[in-house]
Amino acid sequence: MELNQRKHVVIDERLKYPIFVITYNRANGLALTIKHLVNFGCKFNVIVHEEQVEAYKRDYPSELINWIIFDPKYKENYEVLSTLSWQEKNAGSGAERNFAWDCSKQAGYDSHWLMDDNIEMFSMPVSGGVRSVKRVKCPTNEWWKRMEQAETFFNTYSNLFILEIGETGNCVGNAKPILNRRCFSCLLIYNHRPTQWRGRYNEDVILSLDTLVNGFCTVQIFFLTKKKQLTFKAKGGNHDLKKGEKNTDTKNSLYSDGSSYKLSSKAKSELLICVYPKFTELTWKYGRIHHKYKNFDLFKQKLIMAQHFGQKIKVNEQKWVVSHRLYNEKI
């Protein structure tokens, strides 16, 4: 699909940057983020596979949605960071993310919003008394105010390349923004950088680390938060593995090493540790093999005020360095 003009990408006039939702195998009402954005009255773009687009249009019949057919060539060119190719095992959602990125860039935008399709709720802090703060469901008018506030924050700093609408469960009280952490699921991303999404698994952590190791900043904000469905809890998507089941469908399912639920994410964590061992390590969490982060305190970079609002630092591509280690993955 050729995207050379702005008309192919829609943007809501209340925002500075277009919103993209990537979705797969979540028609029949499972794409919760799409429902929220429609309820907010927001114009947005949805990246969908061609064989599923009619089902999505039938189940989400809104004129607010701009359906964009995913270009499968992006799978062929995607850097999975694994010895197993995309033909041998599901490549994850990184190729779709890169496609959305390029749609935004080719349409003339410097940044774009990218949201996963399984966000359960957007929340905001309100006073619960003299010293307490609680989180409540964000009403439509407040969601718009806080989305605009997020874009203003993002455009204030020249070296801020990723902003995340923080996870409700990671927020204590009226939390301040947290600098230089991994960001996921609901992001505002600066377009003009040498590398995009990479990795079959944990591509959000890899994108964050690619940014941080090159001296640029990421931030998590909490004046607006989101609650995302947990891995293995959400139906559809690149996997649909339930507790107690085994999965050997390597072509169509992402977490499919033939093991049980508790071990099925082992490769997910091991690939990340292979790529960035200095900042991640294996652990046991959530009743399964998982990973934890370390040495993020080494990222000392501070936010730099932009000389002109919305203007980012130009990246020296020759000095941009990321890890290309390949995880020795087996089926």
User: Per-residue pLDDT tens for 297-316?
Assistant: 999 999 999 999 999 999 99
Measured CA distances, 252 to 27, 118, 230, 238, 240 (Å): 16, 19, 20, 7, 10
Ordered structural domains, the chain, with CATH: 6-229+247-311 (3.90.550.10)
User: Per-residue pLDDT tens for 133-151?
Assistant: 788 999 999 999 999 999 9
Write out the chain's pLDDT in tens, 331 residues.
Answer: 344 344 489 999 999 999 999 999 999 899 999 999 999 999 999 999 999 999 999 999 999 999 999 999 999 999 999 999 988 888 999 999 999 999 999 999 999 999 999 999 999 988 765 556 788 999 999 999 999 999 999 999 999 999 999 998 877 666 799 999 999 999 999 999 999 999 999 999 999 999 999 999 999 999 999 999 876 565 666 654 444 444 444 444 554 444 444 555 788 999 999 999 999 999 988 788 889 999 999 999 999 999 999 999 999 999 999 999 999 998 7
Pairing assessment for the beta strands 280-285 and 186-190 based on DSSP bridges: unpaired
User: Per-residue pLDDT tens for 80-100?
Assistant: 999 999 888 889 999 999 999
Whether the Cβ atoms of residue 225 and residue 234 lie closer than 8 Å to each other: no
* Largest distance between two CA atoms of the chain: 58
Rounded distance between C-alpha atoms, residue 162 and residue 302, angstroms? 14
3-state SS class at 162: strand
